[in-house]
């Protein structure tokens, strides 16, 4: 089987997101996967760590003998700013995992984004918006949306027996969130407790509420214990050209629990059946839908959400990627 090499800008155990999940599931399909850790946030104790028989974490400080790797070698890139460095890795196939638009806070990506798009043999886009941006490159452009580890997040499906209803958010607190909306719903709902699990990424609002908690970053393995206590989840993204190209991983993770989800109307959310997500067009409607969602006791809706999530798991995404790669072998 081919070898997939991913030179990551983020340590494997720091943020367990799309590239980590895709490579892990590709390894389960038989691909030899090497995740190159930058050793920025969490340094590896040894140069090489074995995740499974097909998946190795390799420290950036370790010199890989590429000649001994199973061929063909697939270079998997998702971070355009480091393309000039990464392209020195010997490879037979180049995959560009296109997960963000080079606009707004990612505008500085533009030059390398275009170079990587030109040189890639395969471009996989995580959203319809990104596909529309990249379709000029022809048949090498495909959509593989985000997914989730269904069996893991399903563990949070139990109904929370909270005296005070809990509204949850899981993920980075970044500049693409609508903090005016967050402020609005927290103040409109003093009878509810808002729990935000994640670190402040590129912004830190001056929040001070009696009914809101900001836990900071938590390890992936610990997310379930917070999600079990939540009655409803929110996805309060701003609506901008950049967010309209985003496929929120958290959305699929939320749906795996079967619990209600309220979101702003970004394009990827609009494309999902309204039976699965409550979609709000403005602040007032978001608050109204939040109060409907928190009272929901519809078993069929829960089952439908989980069925949708199961059908969009990372394993299904990996199988889609495998079918695309087979055409180039």
Same-domain pairing of 135 and 161: no
Return the pLDDT at 314: 97
Q: Is the dihedral of CA 160, 166, 172, 178 positive or negative?
A: positive
For the chain, how many residues are written?
A: 329
Question: Residues of the chain whose pLDDT is less than 70?
Answer: none
Q: What angle do CA 312, 314, 319 make, to 5 degrees?
A: 90
The residue to which tokens 């452009």 are assigned:
141
pLDDT at 325: 97
The DSSP bridge pattern shows strands 55-59 and 73-77 to be: unpaired
- Whose CA is closest to 23, among 39, 2, 45? 2
Residue 30, SS3 per DSSP: coil
d(CA 268, CA 242): 12
Same-domain check for residues 155 and 284: yes
pTM for this predicted structure:
0.92
The domain of 298 spans: 150-310
State whether 120 and 195 are in the same domain: no
Determine the pLDDT at residue 84.
83
320: domain CATH number is 3.40.50.2000
Task: In whole angstroms, give the CA distance from residue 248 to residue 272.
Answer: 12
């Amino acid at each position: 089987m081919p070898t997939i090499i991913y030179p990551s800008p983020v340590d494997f155990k720091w943020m367990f997101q799309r590239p980590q999940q895709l490579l892990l599931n590709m390894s389960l399909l038989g691909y030899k996967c090497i995740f190159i850790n930058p050793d920025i946030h969490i340094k590896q104790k040894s140069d090489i760590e074995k995740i499974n028989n097909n998946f190795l974490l390799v420290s950036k400080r370790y010199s890989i003998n590429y000649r001994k790797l199973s061929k063909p070698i697939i270079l998997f890139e998702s971070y355009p700013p480091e393309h000039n460095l990464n392209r020195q890795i010997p490879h037979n196939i180049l995959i560009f995992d296109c997960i963000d638009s080079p606009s707004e806070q990612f505008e500085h990506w533009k030059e390398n984004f275009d170079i990587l798009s030109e040189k890639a043999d395969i471009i996989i886009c995580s959203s319809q918006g990104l596909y529309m941006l990249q379709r000029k490159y022809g048949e090498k452009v495909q959509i593989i949306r985000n997914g989730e580890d269904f069996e893991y997040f399903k563990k949070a499906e139990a109904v929370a027996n909270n005296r005070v209803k809990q509204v949850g958010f899981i993920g980075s607190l970044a500049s693409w969130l609508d903090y005016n909306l967050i402020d609005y719903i927290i103040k409109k709902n003093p009878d509810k407790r808002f729990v935000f699990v994640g670190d402040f990424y590129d912004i830190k609002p001056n929040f001070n509420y009696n009914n809101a908690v900001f836990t900071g970053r938590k390890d992936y393995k610990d997310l379930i214990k917070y999600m079990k206590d939540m009655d409803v989840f929110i996805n309060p993204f701003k609506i901008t050209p950049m967010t309209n190209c985003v496929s929120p991983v958290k959305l699929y993770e939320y749906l795996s629990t079967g619990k209600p989800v309220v979101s702003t109307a970004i394009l990827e959310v609009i494309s999902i059946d309204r039976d699965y997500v409550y979609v709000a067009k403005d602040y007032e409607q978001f608050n109204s839908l939040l109060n409907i969602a928190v009272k929901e006791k519809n078993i069929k809706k829960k089952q439908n959400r989980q069925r949708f999530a199961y059908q969009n798991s990372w394993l299904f995404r990996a199988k889609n990627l495998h079918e695309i790669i087979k055409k180039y072998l």
